[in-house]
Each structure stands twice: as C-alpha cells, then as structure tokens.
Amino acid sequence: MSMNTQGRPTGTGTASAAATGSSLLPNEPLLFEIGDTEHSGVDLPDVAVSGDFLGGFERKSPLSLAGLTEPEAMRHYVRLSRLNYSIDSGMYPLGSCTMKHNPRLNEKMARLPGFADIHPLQPVSTVKGALELMSELAHWLMTLTNTAAVCLTPKAGAHGEMAGMMAIRAAHQATRQNHRNVVLVPESAHGTNPATAAFLGYTVKAIPARTDGTVDVEAVKAALGSDIAAIMLTNPNTCGLFEPDIIDIAKAVHDAGAYFYCDGANFNAIMGVVRPGDLGIDAMHINLHKTFSTPHGGGGPGAGPVVLSEALAPFAPVPFVRDGELVEHPEGTHLGRVTAFNGQMGMYVRALTYMLSHGGDGLAQAAKDAVLNANYVKARLGDVFSVPFAEAGFCMHEALFDDSFLEGSGVTTLDFAKALIDEGYHPMTMYFPLVVHGAMLIEPTESESRQTLDHFCETMLDLAADAKAGNAERFTAAPTRAPRRRLDETRAARQPKLKWEAPQPLPQAAE
C-alpha cells in the first residue's frame, strides 16, 4: 500500500518546490509526501503471531504511518532543523524566557546509562544513585531559596504553579479555611498565574500596578480579606523590576491569613544573591529549563520544581526523597501525585550538572551578569527607545520598552520585531507584560558577550532610526530573509488544518 496516491511529488502543488530544490533552500516536503507505508529505517524480524492472547482485538483499521529509511530520515530532519532559529546560532532576547546557553556536559551526563536507562519502578535498592541525585538537587534548590521543602516532580513551570497552589489549598482546608476562594494576581502576571488559579477553582482578582511598574502594597492591603487564599506575584516582576515592597506585601498577606505564591520564572536575576525565603514567600516554582539551563527543545520538556515554606512543607505532593528513602505514598497531610513516577529525572541531571559546574559563587556571578547585561542594553538603547517606569532606576535581568518611540512611524512593535528577524536576531518578547503599551521585553541573559550585546544594540538603534526616518516598509514587509514571510494566522484558525490529509486520488486512466 502506498502513502501517496500520486507518488512522490515532482512538479505541481505547494510541496513541489520543496522536493526539487537545493538542500539550502528553506523548503522540505512533509514526511507523508516522501515516505510511504512500506519503507522503514528499522530492521526487525517479521514474526508471525497467533491470535491466542489477543481476544479478537487485532487492528483492522489502517495505520497509514509513513516510513523513511535511515538516510532519508536523516536528511528530512536535518533539513527541517535548518528552518529553526536556536540559541546555539544566535542571541535570543526573549524576555521572561531566560534563553541562556545550554552546556553540552549536561546532555552527556543525562545520557549516562545509570541515569537514562533506569526505570522509575525498578527496586529502590537498585537506584540509590538516582535518589542521591534527587536529594542533592533538592538541597541546592532549598539552599538557594532558603525554604524548608521542595516538590521536584512538576513537569513544567505551570505544573509547578499548580502543585504549589494545591499545597496552599490543602493548607487552608486543613485549617478549615475553605471559604478562601479568591486569589490575587497583578495585571502584569504571566498568563499561567490566573490560569492556574482558575484551574483550581479560585476566582481571580486583579491587582493594578503602580505607575512605576511595581505592585501597589496599599492596593494589596485593600484587597486582602477573609476570602483571600493567596497572592501570586512574580519577583523580579515581569516589568523587569524587583518589587521593593515585597517584604511588606508578604507580611500583609500573612497577617490576613493568606499565602504568598511567588512565580519563580525570573529567578535567574537573583540566584545566589537574594533568597526568596528571606522575603517571606511560601511557595515558588523554579523553571529548570530557564534558570538552570536545561534546553527548551522547541517547547519542552521543562521541569518546574516548587519550593515550599515551613508552613506548606507538610502538604508537599509525593513522591519525594526523605533521608535517602523514596516516599511514594502520601502520609499525613501530604498531597497525592501530580504526575506518574518521579518527575523529570533527565532535567534533574542536567540542572544539577549545571549547578555543580557553576558552584554557588558562579550562580551568583551569572545572576549579576544577567542583570548587568540587561542594564547595559537598557543604557545603550534608553536614549532612543522609550523606557516606561524610568523612575524605577536600574532594571533586573530584563529591559522593558514601550512603543511610544514608534509613534507616527506607521511601525508597530510586531513590525519592529519581525524586522529584527531580517537582521539575524530572534524577536524580543512582544506585547507582554500587558500593563505596557506595545511592550518590548528584552532578556539578554548572562550568556551574551559584550561584543554580541553591542552588535544587537547597534542593530536595534539602526532599526529605530530607520523607523523614525519613515522607512516603514522595511518593517511592515518583514521578514523577507527568513525561511517564511509572515504567516496567515487568521486562515489557520478559521479553517483549521491540523494534520496531513491524503490528496484526492487521481481519476483512474481507462485501460
């Protein structure tokens, strides 16, 4: 049976340009256009099976899975990869994403058979090294945050938020505070914060920002009451600022009988410099795929361990390692599982490798360099780009600009970002945080050299000058030098085409 009713594409249709071009052209046909159901890149014996144990449930519907031989697969995926931007090929100034260098020692260690080839349910006596690693990672995370416990297992930041907020809910339930059904979230928060709170059944109440970009402690105090379960606050916040009143906020929250959930997405700015536990937080997730250099992989896998204060420690979800033993079933007030097995071991290995490489001293230096780099970008661009909250002074690890410098140019933040692609850079984070008009959020991370930052800043200044000079087309038409020009997202959403469909069979020629 053949996958292609028309055979391999050779001349017509949108796929054809791909099949005939040079390997340096930005096109590659779909797997289903080059493979078929008979080709395979894996040699396996074709054994016969009886139906004795299959209960009559054998597959009758077609699999229709395209196969490629090994050389074909190699070429398909190498060619596809070349259509991607990546940290290894250039700076990724994405605010709130912490796109830092991903050391390859981490990858090598994660592939040691003693870590990669062990099963989560093999006898505990045969995985003592894995438990040691989890304990060690927990020790580093608790020391860096000055907290009492950590739940390692959440699979990503949003999952860590969920686990932390579940611990808060459980703590309230344990003290018969079930009526606390509102969570305060500043307007500048990541979308995951309100989504997590709502996911757990809480009502979300927004807290407005002050004109200086930080949370208004008085607004928090005014909102606090017997119905508030928690506040979810990002610190440093999404405007790139350290919340100066954070200790007062924590105190007010605690005095009102609520808990302080801190979104740790921006921990890279302060690791080894400030311990969030000293600020009064009760729970904070740490994105190992941001702060501790595990690769983003095109959208995961992440890992979002959540540290917990003394008050929340008894509610940590299982499993965890205690005194060298794996606790797999909840005792007392501990919560049940948020995932099967033991969480993202592969990410634990990478993160701990990174921590041991840096050491406590190196992590602090990395945080300081991340802050230095962001302030350097802010200083170099600040005269031309418009800086909201300028009165706040120095930023932390990300520099925030708004779009007022583009006023009257006919160029939007989106256009500006797309023009950056033509200059060889991935765009910065755009239109986030929501509290700033046309936001451009730039997080260089500590991985960028001064030379790279200078080049980036000169590119940004050149673009800004061009926008102001009225060369709007450079922006509105951009990108023109990427594998694709702007894509029609409206069409994608209105007529969703979410999988490959076999082309209509050609009419059979009369014989």
Partner 1 sequence: MRYLPHSAAERAEMLAVIGAKSAEELFGAVPRHALLTRPVDLPAHSPEFLVEARMRAMAARNRAGADGPFFVGAGAYRHHVPATVDHLIQRSEWLTAYTPYQPEVSQGTLQMLFEFQTQVAHLTGMDVANASMYDGSTATAEAVLMARRLTRKDRIILSGGLHPHYRDVVHTYLDNSPNLVSLPASPEGQGDILDRIDDDTAAIVIQTPDFFGHLRDVKRAADAIHAKGGLLIVVVTEVVSLGLLEAPGALGADIVVCEGQSIGNALNFGGPYVGLMATRKEFIRQMPGRLCGETVDADGNRGFVLTLSTREQHIRREKATSNICTNSGLCALAFSIHMSLLGEAGLTRLARLNHSRAAALAKALRAVPGVELLNKTFFNEMTIRLPIPAAPVIEILAEADVLAGVPVSRLIPDDPAVDNLIVLAATELTTDADIDMLATCLNAAIGGAA
Stretch 18-57 residues interacting with partner 1 (CB under 8 A): 26-28, 30-32, 35-42, 44-50, 52-55, 57
Residues 208-247 that bind partner 1 (CB under 8 A): 241-244, 246-247
Which CB sits closer to partner 1, 28 or 403?
28
Q: How far is the CB of 85 from partner 1 (least distance, A)?
A: 4
- Which of 22, 24, 117, 504 is in the footprint of partner 1 by CB under 8 A? 117
- Which of 143, 211, 226, 404 is in the footprint of partner 1 by CB under 8 A? 143
**Ramachandran sector of residue 88 (left: φ over 0; alpha: ψ -120 to 50; beta: rest):** alpha
Is 379 among the residues that bind partner 1 (CB under 8 A)?
Answer: yes
Q: Which string of x and - marks every residue 423-462 that binds partner 1 (by CB under 8 A)?
A: ---xx----x-------------xxxxx------------
Is 504 among the residues that bind partner 1 (CB under 8 A)?
Answer: no
Strand, coil or helix: 290: coil
Phi then psi for residue 200, to 5 deg, are -90, 10
Q: How far is the CB of 511 from partner 1 (least distance, A)?
A: 29
Residues with Cβ within 8 Å of residue 159, at least 6 apart in sequence: 304, 338, 339
DSSP 226-243: TTEEEEEEESS-TTS---
Query: Measured on CA atoms in the order 279, 284, 290, 295, is the torsion positive or negative?
Result: positive
Cα Rg of the chain, angstroms: 26
Kindly state the greatest CA–CA separation across the chain.
87
Under 8 Å between Cβ of 337 and 317 = yes
- Report the distance separating Cα 425 and Cα 89, nearest Å: 9
- Report the distance separating Cα 267 and Cα 181, nearest Å: 28
- Which of 219, 311, 327, 335 is in the footprint of partner 1 by CB under 8 A? 335
Q: Taking contact as CB under 8 A, which single stretch among the options 224-232, 251-259, 401-409, 497-505 is the one that binds partner 1?
A: 497-505
- Residue whose pair of structure tokens reads 């505070």 in the numeric block: 177
Q: How far is the CB of 509 from partner 1 (least distance, A)?
A: 27
Query: How many binding residues for partner 1 (CB under 8 A)?
Result: 212
- Which of 7, 23, 83, 465 is in the footprint of partner 1 by CB under 8 A? 83
DSSP 164-192: HHHHHHHHHHHTT-TT--EEEEETTS-TH
Residues 185-214 that bind partner 1 (CB under 8 A): 190-192, 194-201, 204
Residues 87-106 that bind partner 1 (CB under 8 A): 87-89, 92, 94, 97, 99, 101-103, 105
Residues 338-367 that bind partner 1 (CB under 8 A): 338-347, 349, 352-353, 355-366
Amino acid at 18: A
Q: Which string of x and - marks every residue 288-317 that binds partner 1 (by CB under 8 A)?
A: -x-----xxxxxxxxx-------------x
Which CB sits closer to partner 1, 382 or 410?
382
Supply 284's token pair. 């904070």
Alpha carbon 13 to its chain centroid, in Å, reads 36
Q: How far is the CB of 462 from partner 1 (least distance, A)?
A: 18
Is 372 among the residues that bind partner 1 (CB under 8 A)?
Answer: yes
Which CB sits closer to partner 1, 219 or 394?
394
Q: How far is the CB of 469 from partner 1 (least distance, A)?
A: 24
Question: What are the contacts of 136-142 at 24+ separation with CB within 8 A?
Answer: 136/352, 137/305, 137/348, 137/351, 137/352, 137/355, 138/305, 138/320, 138/321, 140/352, 140/355, 141/286, 141/305, 141/307, 142/307
Q: Taking contact as CB under 8 A, which single stretch among the options 225-233, 254-262, 334-342, 458-466 is the one that binds partner 1?
A: 334-342
